[in-house]
Amino acid sequence: MKQKIYEIPIWDAYALENCECPVCSIEKKAEDQFIETLFTEMVMDVNLNPQLTSAFRFCHEHFEKLYKYPDKCGLAILTDRILYLEIEALQQAKKGTAIKKSLKPAFLKKSSSNSTHTEKECLLCNKLSNDMRNYCDTIIKLWQKDSTFKSIFAHSRGFCLKHFNEILINNTASSDFKEKCISLQENNLQRLQEELQWFITKNDYRFVNESWKTSKDALLRTILKLIGNYNTKI
């Protein structure tokens, strides 16, 4: 069956060796690509730039990632626009509601009635959330229509807990798919636990001469299984 362009990242992710969560792999690449696009196209777009900063901000994590990107001037342009909007909000507050003691920065996700700004989502979090929802839809559809993918899926390592839950609550997932998915996830969590337990055993001096088998990186893979790996600093 001919692959559609939006299915290619899924096939690529499932082709990765020892991948504990294909969706995490897709998410990491999507994040990198969007940050690249943000700096190469969106920042200098005189029409788009004001719309982005008016509708969205950046969470702590993504502001940090943007700062690590080489284009400091591009980030300065975005940040300057955000500062402009914050100053404007303060000036509006002086004309109306009395300013309380604590004013939350606008790039934080949550707001309060005492803030001088309306609540705004993180641009990157919003984009990734929508994209991953679509990819989860596509994984389910591929499983339903493509026998090759169904076989690859059955021999995969499941998902991190976050994306496993997102797959399960997807409205397009059939009861048959959910049963297979739960079974796959359970088997892989048990596999990881066995590897992790052997890792613990290997740290006992009595087993120093025994083989590590597949447990040398079991602790890291278990943590990534629990929290997801697209945004971790581990």
Q: What is the pLDDT along the chain (234 residues), one digit of tens a residue?
A: 567 899 999 999 999 999 999 999 999 999 999 999 999 888 887 677 777 778 889 999 999 999 999 999 999 998 998 999 889 989 888 887 555 544 555 544 444 445 555 568 999 999 999 999 999 999 999 999 999 999 999 999 999 999 999 999 999 999 999 999 999 999 999 999 999 999 999 999 999 999 999 999 999 999 999 999 766 666
Residue 27's identity, in one-letter code, is E
b vs e for 6-44, b when ≥16 Cβ sit within 10 Å of the residue's Cβ? ebebbeebbeeeebbbbbbbbbbebbeebbeebbeebbe
Query: Which tokens sit at 115?
Result: 């803030």
Q: How wide is the angle at C-alpha 75 spanned by C-alphas 74 and 80, nearest 5°? A: 100
**Contact indicator for 21, 51 with CB cutoff of 8 Å:** no
Closest among 227, 225, 209 to 217, alpha carbons compared: 225
